[in-house]
Structure 1
Amino acid sequence: MLLFLTFVKVIMVSIPEFYEGKNVLLTGATGFMGKVLLEKLLRSCPKVKAVYVLVRNKAGQTPEARIEEITSCKLFDRLREEQPDFKAKIIVVMSELTQPDLDLSEPIKEKLIECINIVFHYAATIRFNETLRDAVQLNVIATQQLLFLAQRMKNLEVFVHVSTAYAYCNRQVIEEVVYPPPVDPKKLIDSLEWMDDDIVSDITPKLLGNRPNTYIYTKALAESVVQQEASKLNIAIVRPSIVGASWKEPFPGWIDNFNGPSGIFIAAGKGILRTMRATNDAVADLIPVDVVINATLAAAWYSGVHRPRKLMVYNCTTGGINAFHWSEVEYHVISTFKRNPLEQAFRRPNVNLTSNHLLYHYWIAVSHKAPAFLYDTYLRITGRSPRMMKTITRLHKAMMLLEYFTSHSWTWNNENMTMLMNQLNPDDKKMFNFDVRQLHWAEYMENYCMGTKKYVLNEEMSGIPAARKHLNKLRNIRYGFNTILVILIWRIFIARSQMARNIWYFVVSLCYKFLSYFRASSTMRY
């Protein structure tokens, strides 16, 4: 009878009820996903007792000032309206994850050991070009130290580690399991202690192998470290793919950074990006940030309530459930920014995707470097500082980091995600929705693009009519330039050569005959 009542209680516990009265520890609260989780947790689980956030000093700002800045932004508007005193539940803890023992004071450490019930580990360096030494320190060693602290927590129910769906991108099919690491994390950590930076730089390409960057490489190592502690802790791993703007919560299209695809979308909207190396039919595995957060909160609930015997891994992706391709991304980005242009665009939005190496470099020279050079020349002539070539150089570096993901496709297993979704009661399915089958890509991409305009560039919607006039002006300038170019080609090459004129007249007469035949056929038909 007691067993039956326990079973019924487990089944009936909703997600908000699970978090009721709990103390949560959150790392990475100042990052994109971390701040969204903080907002969602406080808003949807209003009876959570407290959220302890580990934050470091940065650029002269205290941890308290950084959290105050974050909680004052638009992301928290809805929470501020519903729960005006929500900040009282946020407890800021100064910590440096790269330092021994996370640089926590002994009293604070003891406090966390006594009270924490749930840990969400979001903190990581997401820079693709981070040095191996720094990436290992931030993504592997810091994770290891946090796990050591978690093992001492007396009331810990679940530890959630946020990884990446690309941790094992060297595989075509990726299951919801932790694969063997590329190297033994402990041996690599020990080796990095005595290696100088030059040696580390030299061996990095060999260590990475067929993984594209240090971020993905060290995320695979971190998963191995997490797995090693799985026998001592109740752990879940969430693996999001390419995280983008919000789908629904707290409002559609929220984004606050240039990272990942957002910067590329803005460059395309401004008319700076004109070509990109990508495979048109490759799957663009974008995942809205609120989907990731809802799945993470649900994963912690499931592991905390059901206590699974194995380490739970969740591939939080869209490709195998609701596929969306890079050619479709390009279409929706360009069409959105043509209807609702960004202010002071450099050219009309238009992007050409190609997987051909020679064609790509041709378009880079013709549509990126040449216009940038001409524009900088104009700026110099008018006494202003040239800037476009620097912008193009930065853009190309960002594009190189993304090429691997725009040129490949993967197959992710999502059985655990499906199981998790089926475990939710009807109310939780609505409140913590991560069912990407419901995601309408055209609507989402429009909201995403408009989100970059409103929240990243801080452009007002009232400026759209002026931006449209500016685009029309650019179109007229382009038509005028093309007309002058045709006239110059005629005067320089065709008008001076009898053979060129004969070829020209032959082509024109051929076109005329074709049009005449087409017109005659149409008349006879009717």
Structure 2
Amino acid sequence: MSVIAAFYGGKSILITGATGFMGKVLMEKLLRTSPDLKVIYILVRPKAGQSLQQRVSQMMNCKLFEKAKEICPNIFEKIRPIYSDLTKPDLGISKEDLEELLTHTNIIFHCAATVRFDDPLRHALQLNVIATQQLLFMASQMLKLEVFIHFSTAYSNCNLKHIDEVIYPCSVEPKKLIDSVEWLDDSIIEEITPKLIENRPNTYTYTKALGEMVVYQERGNLNIAIIRPSIVGASWQEPFPGWVDNLNGPNGLIIAAGKGFLHSLKATPKAVADVVPVDLVINLTLAVGWHTAVHRPKSILIYHCTSGSLNPCLWTDLGFQVLATFEKAPLEKAFRRPNADFTTNNFSTYLWNTISHMAPAVMYDFYLRLTGRKPRMAKLMNRMLKTISMLDYFINRSWEWSSRNTEMLMSQLSNEDQKLFDFDVRHLNWLEYTENYCLGIKKYLLKEDMAGIPAAKRHLRMLRNIHYLFNTVLFLIIWRFFIARSQMARNVWYFVVSLCYKFLSYFRASSTFRH
């Protein structure tokens, strides 16, 4: 029997961020492995035209929950949606719902956060820090609470090269910053943001670090642990390989490469793509929830969930594996044939962005205008390049994360739990994982039918022929206006042609002699 699965039986569990990528996988795993749990409370943000129950039904009527429904037929009875808005006082929860949560909740998984890198500081602070502060206050009043699990990120301290499983102090006290933001004007906050975040790349990593500080300062008597995953990718094994449903992390880059929009990327040759499968993160989370509740450590333990130190994969290797997969199973309606050139400095990156991205986009927009359609490609390319510039910091750096607590926890699991809640990234085969990742994006995110692969391959062949034709025309233009007017260029050209002819003649003669 699984000790971890048995632990969650009969429990009332609160999950924030349950409608997000990790929240869904967390719910699915809980329902599949512990179908006798009592209830899962999920905080659901209101949406125009949809009731809470409609939102839940829409979310759960997808392939992700198919296995869970077989094991737990009364799955909808296990889910209790609660109207909530993290931007409002008391998280926007009604008095009746709050009373129910305070009376019954045993476990909290705090997954909710804004993961946008370009969020204004005020908004990021509200969702990643103030909402955490309010949830902690709520948790301190819960009569039956056994454990509080807080999701952070391995990049919360990305200003450091080596990161230990400890909470690092911030230069500004979170409470003082929260008080200041309440009365400061938006323009002033925008002006001081670069000074506040200092050597961190964005408001996301900064506010996640502040969130950890708030957890530490306001923990009181709560039994708390913090999970720090790196870049969370598609599922590895559970409930099936390759499930993904959003454009976060590397997903947008993979689609851009597969569709032929992205042909060039700045990537340091030895930079590690610290991607971890979402099911591995959730397995660790559930193991941490059990261990923290049962053993009640004296201090807050941090658990790193990263791959770079134990099973590294370089960004360049990942890129070539993605392209190889899309050669076998192309995405539909590609803009160009998938290809990748990796640059290493700013000048070559700018040059290739102009040649490989903006020039084709401008030409395609010109074609759209000629055919009476609205130009859109240059705008799309600009948006893609902006996204890549925000990811540049993470693609061109590598970090060292200690994982003593994670390894300690692994050693304390029974053989059954090590199988059912496997979070050992050393077992991951990157080639197989990347292929399933790309196919998952095609099937589950883009909703493309695998039966359409032959047509997609024909489309790629057509794009290849157009590419060859364009290069031929371009060469003839260059020849006509540049080479043909220079005697020296003609002499060089004739020398190269004659040399090639001699080589061909030599190989033909050698082949005839052997026969």
Category of TM-score, reference length = shorter chain: over 0.9
CA distance in 2, matches of 1:401, 1:443: 28
1:515 is displaced (CA, Å) by 6.5
Report whether the alignment pairs 1:287 with 2:304. no
Contact 1:244 1:286 in 2 (8 A): yes
Report whether the alignment pairs 1:73 with 2:58. no
Contact 2:284 2:421 in 1 (8 A): yes
Contact 1:30 1:66 in 2 (8 A): no
Which residue does the alignment assign to 1:9? none
CA deviation string 1:361-386 (max 9, x = no partner): 11111111110011111111111111
Which residue does the alignment assign to 1:197? 186
| SS, match of residue 116 in structure 2 | coil
CA distance in 2, matches of 1:446, 1:223: 35
CA distance in 1, matches of 2:73, 2:466: 52
Within-5 A mapping of 1:255-270: 255-270=244-259
Within-5 A mapping of 1:429-448: 429-448=418-437
| SS, match of residue 242 in structure 2 | coil
CA distance in 2, matches of 1:452, 1:232: 43
Within-5 A mapping of 1:169-180: 169-180=158-169
The range that moved more, 321-330 or 507-516, is 507-516
- Relative to structure 1, is the Cα distance of residues 521 and 206 closer, same or farther in structure 2, using a 3 angstrom cutoff? farther
CA distance in 1, matches of 2:189, 2:32: 45
Which residue does the alignment assign to 1:463? 452
| SS, match of residue 167 in structure 1 | helix
Alignment root-mean-square deviation, CA: 1.9
Report whether the alignment pairs 1:370 with 2:351. no
Within-5 A mapping of 1:284-323: 284-323=273-312
Which residue does the alignment assign to 1:389? 378
| SS, match of residue 303 in structure 2 | strand
Corresponding pairs, count: 515
1:512 is displaced (CA, Å) by 4.8
Give the AA of the match of 1:464.
I
Contact 1:182 1:221 in 2 (8 A): no
Within-5 A mapping of 1:354-503: 354-503=343-492
Give the AA of the match of 1:15.
I
1:492 is displaced (CA, Å) by 2.2
CA deviation string 1:419-470 (max 9, x = no partner): 1111111111111111111100000000000111111111000000010011
Q: 1:46 aligns with which of 35, 45, 48?
A: 35
CA deviation string 1:108-145 (max 9, x = no partner): 21211111110000001111100000100110000000
The range that moved more, 407-416 or 96-105, is 96-105
CA deviation string 1:19-77 (max 9, x = no partner): 11111011001111001101111111111111111112024433322211111111111
Contact 2:271 2:314 in 1 (8 A): yes
CA deviation string 1:305-347 (max 9, x = no partner): 1111121100100001100100111111111111110011111
Contact 2:2 2:417 in 1 (8 A): no
CA distance in 2, matches of 1:61, 1:391: 31
CA distance in 2, matches of 1:376, 1:384: 9
Contact 2:2 2:416 in 1 (8 A): no
CA distance in 1, matches of 2:2, 2:323: 46
Give the AA of the match of 2:81.
V
Unaligned runs of at least 5 residues, structure 1: 1-11
CA distance in 2, matches of 1:20, 1:465: 48
CA distance in 2, matches of 1:230, 1:13: 30
Report whether the alignment pairs 1:36 with 2:22. no
Give the AA of the match of 1:233.
L
Which residue does the alignment assign to 1:3? none
CA deviation string 1:348-372 (max 9, x = no partner): 1001121211111111111111100
CA distance in 2, matches of 1:13, 1:273: 45
Report whether the alignment pairs 1:98 with 2:87. yes
Which residue does the alignment assign to 1:113? 102
Moved over 6 A (4+): 514-526
Give the AA of the match of 1:122.
C
TM-score where L is the length of structure 1: 0.95
CA distance in 2, matches of 1:59, 1:328: 44
1:484 is displaced (CA, Å) by 2.0
Which residue does the alignment assign to 1:182? 171
TM-score where L is the length of structure 2: 0.97
| SS, match of residue 152 in structure 1 | coil
Contact 1:245 1:254 in 2 (8 A): yes
Contact 1:56 1:62 in 2 (8 A): no
CA distance in 2, matches of 1:303, 1:488: 70
Give the AA of the match of 2:430.
W
Contact 1:16 1:47 in 2 (8 A): no
1:525 is displaced (CA, Å) by 12
Unaligned runs of at least 5 residues, structure 2: none
| SS, match of residue 287 in structure 2 | helix
Contact 1:338 1:348 in 2 (8 A): no
1:83 is displaced (CA, Å) by 2.0
